[in-house]
Structure 1
Amino acid sequence: MPFRYDLPVWYSRERPYRRVVANLAAALALAASTSVIAQSAPTVAQTQPAAPAVTLPASAAAANTASSAADRHVENTDHAQPSPVVPTPPSELYGELYRDVELAHLYPDSKTFADMSPGEPPAQVIADYDSQRAQPRFDLKQFVEQRFTLPPRAPKRYASDPDESVTAHIDTLWNVLRREPDASASPYSSLLPLPSPYIVPGDRFDEIYYWDSYFILLGLDASGQHALVDDELNNFSTLIDRYGHIPNGNRTYYLSRSQPPFFAQMVQLVARKEGDQVYARYLPELRREYAYWMAGSDHLAPGNAAHHLVRLADGTLLNRYWDERAAPRDESYREDVMTAQRIPQRDARDLWRNLRAGGETGWDFSSRWFADGRTLATIDVTSLVPVDLNCLMVDLERTLAKAYRVTGDAGHAENLELRARVRADAIRRVLWDPQLHAFGDYDFVHRTLTHRLTAATVYPLYAGVATRNDAREVAQTIRRDLLRPGGLATTRTNTGQQWDEPNGWAPLQYLAVIGLRRYSEPELARDIATRWIRTDVAYYQRTGKLVEKYDVDASGKSAGGGEYPLQDGFGWTNGVLRVLMQLYPDAVSSTKPADLPGGAVGVSDAAASAAAAPQTSHSTSPAGH
C-alpha cells in the first residue's frame, strides 16, 4: 500500500479559524458547536527566484515521489477532539476595541488585555462599545475593567532559602511553577484549556510554550517528576488532537503558528523510561505533527514556497518558519504597529507576518533574521531555510519511522527513514557554510547563505546530521568565535535584541553540550557546560533567582534586550541546569547562597522586593517565568 498523507482536519477546505469572525455571528456559532473545529490553510504560495541548479540525488527524487499527492495519508479521526473554546484570537473577536485598547497603552504589557476574559458575549461587548465610545465622558479603561477580568489564578509567593542548594531550589520551584488542569473557561477566553497539570515558564508567561517545555521536561525527568512529564506529553498530544498541531502556546492568539518541533523529542524522553510502546501510543499525534509541517508539498513546484515549505530549484524539499496571519501579534500589538510605522515603505502585512514567523522560531528576535543584520523592521524570516528547524524535522521523520516500526508497518517506516536521509543530505549540502566553517541558514529568495554565525550551528551535531569532519570544524568555530566566559553566545552581533550577543540561553547550551558529546568532543562540551553552570549558580547565590537568559560576557550577570523585562523563574533555565549538573556534578563546589559572603543578604533583599511588588496573574512568584 502506498504511503499517503492527507491533510489533517485543521487543513480542510473551509477554515473557520482564518475567516472566523469576519462577523461575530460565525464566532458565536463556533462557540455553540461541539463538533471538531475544521481549519485549512488558504493558498499562499510564493514564487521565488530559482536556487542554483543542483543535480538531485536519486534518493531525493525517490523521496519526493513518495511525498506526492498519491502518498499522503493521515487518518484524520485518530484521537480527534473538539476545541473547548472559540479558536479565534482576541484581536479578531473585538476588532476596533482591541486595537483601541492596545494603542491607548492602558497596560504596560500588550499581553495583559490579550489574556483577559469577557464577562459577556463579544457581540454584546462590541455593541456596548459602539454605542458608548462617542459619549463625552467615555472612559476606555473603565469600560474594559467593567467587562473583562484577568485569568483567575492565585499568585504563588515564594522566597528562596539561603541554605538551599541550587538543585534543591529547582526541585522546589517545580511546585511554584506548576498549574493544575484548567477549569472549563468562558468559550471566549483566549486560554486553550489543558486536561493535565503543567509547568509554566514564569512571570508574564503563565501558560505553556511549545519548545520551552521540552527543556522543562528534561529537568522534571532529572528531578524524578516522571508523572508530570507524562502529564505534559498528554497536554501536547491533546493540542494536536484538537488543532492538528502544537501552537506556540496554549492561547488562541498562538494558533496561527507553532514553534520549533520538539514533540518527537518529548516522545523519545518518555519512551526511554516506559518502553517502545510509547511510540505506538503517540503515532497518531506524530503523524499529524508531521502533516502540519509538510502541508502542501504535493502541489509545490520547484523554486516556490508555501506555508512551512520551500522547494528549491533542484526539487529539494525543506522547511521554513511561517505564520498563517499577517497582522500585529495580539500579545505584542502596540509594538508591532509601532515597528510598521518606523518603516512606512514596507508592506505592513508582510512585516507583521515575518514578526509572527519570528515568534515561531523561538528566537524572537535576533540579527539572524534581519535583512540588514541589525534592524528589527527589516526582519525576513519567511525567506530563509533555517538549519535548526530542518534538523528537528530530520528527528521527527526518524521518530515517526520508529513509531511505524514498533507497530509493524515496515513500508511506512522505510519511507520516513528515506525522507530523513534525504533531508540530512540536503542540510549538509545546502546549509554548510564553508566561509564560516559552520552550518547556517539559506536565503532561498536571493539564492545564498546568510553567512551569519549563530549558536544554531550546533543543531546538526545534536541531531546526528553532521559528518565527523563537519563536527570537528563546528567545534573549532564555536571555541574560537562563540565561547564566552559565561557559556555559549547566541550570535556575534550586539543589536540590543535578546537573541544576540552578549546573551546566552539555556536551550542552546544544552543542545551544544549534547551535540558535542555525540561527536566525541567531550572537552569542549564540558567547558561550555561548566561555564554555564557557574554563570547560573553565581547569579542564584547573589539573588536567590534563576532567570530567563544571562550575559555570557560577564559571568553571573543577567541579560537584557527584547520586548519585555527580564523574566525570572525560569522554566527552561531550571530544566537545563538540573540536567547539566547531573552530567557535570563537579562543575561547582558550592551552590548555596549562604555559602557566598553577602549571598544570604542578597536573597533576603530579592525576597523582600518580590513580596512588595504588585501581584498579578503574570507574576507567579519572585522566582518564576
Structure 2
Amino acid sequence: MKNNHIIYLVLIVVFAIGCQNNKETADFYAVDVNQTLQRLEAEQDTDKDKKITEDDTAQKSFVLKAKDGSEVTIEGTYHLSNLLQELAAAKNEGKTDVEISLKSIKEQPADRISRLIKTKYWDNLTRRVDQSGLETILTDTKASDGLIRRLYVPSTDSVGVSYFKSIESDFKNFEVVVLPENISPEYVKSINDKPGILSLQITNGEGTPFVVPGGRFNEMYGWDSYFEGVGLNVDGRQDLSIAMIENFAYQIQHYGKILNANRSYYLTRSQPPFMTSFIRETFESEEGLNEEWLTQMLNAALDEYFNVWMKQEKKLTATGLNRYFAEGIGIPPETEEGHFDTYLETVASQYQMPLDEFIEGYQTGAIEDEAVDEYFLHDRSLRESGHDTTWRLDGRCADLNSVALNALLYKYETDFAYLIKTYFDDSFLFEDQNLDENYWMQIADERKLLVNQFLWNEEEGSYYDYNFKTQKPLIYDSATNFYPLWSNLASPEQADKMKDKLLQSLKAEGGILSSSKASVEQFASSEVSRQWDYPNGWAPHQMLIWKGLLNYGYNTEAEELAYRWMWMITKNAVDYNGTIPEKYDVVNRTHKVYAEYGNVGTEFDYITPEGFGWMNASYQYGLTLLSDELRENLNALVDPDKLF
C-alpha cells in the first residue's frame, strides 16, 4: 500500500512537471493589453517604426508576464512580431485584457500568412461605391481637388443617377456629376482638374463590391482584379469574383471599356484584357452560377473584344495584330509632380522658354507639338499595358505589336470557342451574328500565324514585341515574352525552347525577373530605375508563367519557381512583421524596392490589415502548386538554393 502511495505521488509530480513543460504549447496567458504592448515596444522596437523586424537591434527575447504571475519567454523576430500583432489587434478591438495563445504566436509562417489572407485581407480590401462605402473611398485624395469630392455617374445608367443624386446631400463637400453620353478625350481633359471616382454597378440599392489592390490604390483596377480573382477562387470567395466580373460588364456597357481603374482621368484608357479567363475560371469553380449569368457576361466580353480591341487604326494595326493605344490629350494627370520634368525641360529649352511657361502653353493648346503629343501617347499606352513603367515600352509602346497583348487576345478567342461549344451547344447569337467554335478557332489560328510570323524569333527561342513602324523586333528579354505559354499559343517545340530561354535569362533567386539586366543596360536612356524592370519581380508575371509551364508539362520547373517566390514572400513576412508588399527585388529577395513609386504595402503600424491584392493571390495560388513536402519546407523556411 505504501508503495502505491509513493507511485501515486510520483505520478502527480510527473504530471505537474509535464503540465509546466507543456504550458508553452497548451496554455493561454491573460495579459494587460496596453501595458504589455508598451513594454514590448520599448524593449524590442528599437527603430520606433511600430514594427518588430530584423532591422531592430534588440536581443529579440521578451518575457511575457501574465496577470496571474506566470511568465513565458518569447524569442525571435517572427514570434515577437506575431505577439505585437496579437496585442495590436486586441487594442484595435477596444480590449484592455486578452488571452495570448502561444499556439497562435508560434503558428507556422506559411499557414499564418495564408490564413490571414483568407480570413481577413480579402474583406479588408473590399470596397463598394454606395452610401455605405463612399466615405472610405472619398477620403482618398484622388477623389478630390482639395475642396470638392466628386462622383461621376454615366448618363446611360438611370438607376445609378437616381440613386447617387438621392444621397448627394448625405456627404459633406460632395458633388455627383452626370457624365455626357459621348465621352471624348477633350471632355476628359477638361475635368482633369476636377478628379473624382467613377460609379460602378448599383443593384437593389447596394453597390456591387470589388477588391482593391491596397495601400494608396483605393479603386477597382482592371488586370489586378483578374489576378485577385484567381486567389479569391482558391479561397472560396467566388462571391467577390462574380461581383468584379459584373462590374467589368457595367464598365463595358456604360464607359465603353474595362477601365484602367474607376477614376475620372482613366476614362480614355483601358487595361490588359483578362475578362474571358476571369469569367471561365469563376464560372467553372462556382456551382451556383447559371447560363443566364454566363450569357450576360459573355455578351459583355464580346462587346469589349469587337468594340475596344478590334477597332482599325487604334488598337488593331495593319499587321493584323494589336497594340496598346490609350487616347487622351495633354500630360497624364495621375503622376506625381515633376514626373515628366526631365523630358519637358529638354523640350522647353528648344522653345527657349521656362519649363512652367511651356507646360502651361502646351496644356492650354497654345503650343502644338506633334513630337510631344507622340511622347505622351506612348506614355499613356504604356500605362494602359499595366507596365508603368519599363524601358521596354518607354517612348515606343503605341508602335509595338506586343507579345503580351496578342497572347491575351488569342486567349479571348479560344475561350470564346470553348465557352460557346461547351455551354451553348456551339451556337451563340451576338449582334445578329451566330458565332460558333469554328468561327473563333479560325480567328485564333489566324492570329497564331501572325504572331509566329512577326513575333517569334527562332534563333533566340523566344517571342519579342514587334515594332510595326521600324518593321523590326524589339529584342528585350521580358517576362511578358512568355505569355504565349499561358495562353497555349506556342507549339510544344516552341515551348521547350522558351522554357530554356526563360530559365537562362529571367530566373532569379526569388522567382522570375520582370526583365533581364542585359536588356535594361542596353535600352535604358538614363540611370532612372523602372519598377517593371530588373531586379524586380511581380506577382502577375509569376502566376502567368507558373500556369504556362504547367500547360506544357513542365511541372518541376513551375514548382521550383513557385517555391522560390513563396519562400521570398514568407521570409520577408517573417523578418518584417508580416509585410506583404506590391512587388519584390527578386535578385536580393527583399521587399525593399525604391524604384519610381516606392513599394505599396510596406507602410503600416503594428499589423498589416490587407497585404496587397495580387500578392495575396499569388500566395494562395502558389500554395496549391507545392507538394506537401515543399509546403513543409516552406514553413521551415528551407532556402530554395538547398533544394533545387
TM-score by structure 2 length?
Answer: 0.61
In the TM superposition, what whole-angstrom CA distance separates every residue of 1:250-307 from its partner, at most 9, and x where no partner exists? Answer: 112111111110111111112212467254231220121102333433xxxxxxxx21
CA contact (8 A) 1:498 1:561 kept: yes
CA contact (8 A) 2:215 2:600 kept: no
Aligned residue in 2 for 1:179: 127
Higher RCO (Cα < 8 Å, 6 or more apart): 1
Amino acid at match of 1:401: A
Deviation at 1:403, TM superposition (A): 4.5
**2:327 is matched with which residue: 320, 324, 340?**
324
TM-score by structure 1 length?
Answer: 0.63
Structure 1, unpaired ranges of 5+? 1-155, 298-305, 371-378, 597-625
| SS across alignment from 1:509 | helix
CA contact (8 A) 2:280 2:419 kept: no
Amino acid at match of 2:377: R
| SS across alignment from 2:321 | strand
Aligned residue in 2 for 1:589: 632
Output aligned runs, 1:49-128, within 5 Å.
none
Query: Higher strand fraction: Structure 1 or Structure 2?
Result: 2
Output aligned runs, 1:130-529, within 5 Å.
163=106, 165-171=112-118, 172-183=120-131, 184=164, 186-188=175-177, 190-195=196-201, 196-273=208-285, 274=287, 277=291, 278-297=293-312, 306-312=313-319, 317-332=320-335, 334-344=337-347, 347-370=371-394, 379-405=395-421, 406-407=423-424, 408-409=426-427, 411-413=434-436, 414-493=438-517, 494=520, 496-529=529-562
Deviation at 1:590, TM superposition (A): 6.8
| SS across alignment from 1:318 | coil
**Distance verdict in 2 for CA 1:554–1:294, change over 3 Å:** closer
Amino acid at match of 1:175: D
Deviation at 1:326, TM superposition (A): 3.2
**Distance verdict in 2 for CA 1:157–1:488, change over 3 Å:** farther
| SS across alignment from 1:270 | helix
Deviation at 1:418, TM superposition (A): 1.1
Structure-2 separation of matches of 1:560 and 1:336: 15
Deviation at 1:167, TM superposition (A): 0.2
**Distance verdict in 2 for CA 1:561–1:422, change over 3 Å:** same
Aligned residue in 1 for 2:21: none
Structure 2, unpaired ranges of 5+? 1-90, 94-103, 132-163, 169-174, 178-194, 202-207, 351-369, 429-433, 521-527, 603-610, 638-644
Deviation at 1:157, TM superposition (A): 7.6
Deviation at 1:425, TM superposition (A): 1.8
Aligned residue in 2 for 1:534: 567
Deviation at 1:566, TM superposition (A): 3.9
CA contact (8 A) 1:181 1:193 kept: yes
Aligned residue in 2 for 1:106: none
**2:580 is matched with which residue: 530, 546, 571?**
546
Aligned residue in 2 for 1:560: 594
Number of residue pairs the alignment of both structures matches: 418
Structure-2 separation of matches of 1:542 and 1:591: 14
Structure-2 separation of matches of 1:520 and 1:590: 23
In the TM superposition, what whole-angstrom CA distance separates every residue of 1:339-363 from its partner, at most 9, and x where no partner exists? Answer: 4314416822211121111111111
Deviation at 1:337, TM superposition (A): 4.1
Deviation at 1:245, TM superposition (A): 1.0
Structure-1 separation of matches of 2:584 and 2:128: 30
Aligned residue in 1 for 2:32: none
Deviation at 1:311, TM superposition (A): 1.1
CA contact (8 A) 2:583 2:599 kept: no
Identity %: 28
RMSD over equivalenced CA pairs, Å: 2.5
Deviation at 1:429, TM superposition (A): 2.0
Structure-2 separation of matches of 1:286 and 1:508: 23
In the TM superposition, what whole-angstrom CA distance separates every residue of 1:325-347 from its partner, at most 9, and x where no partner exists? Answer: 13212211634542431441682
**Distance verdict in 2 for CA 1:252–1:470, change over 3 Å:** same
**Distance verdict in 2 for CA 1:360–1:209, change over 3 Å:** same
Structure-1 separation of matches of 2:440 and 2:419: 10
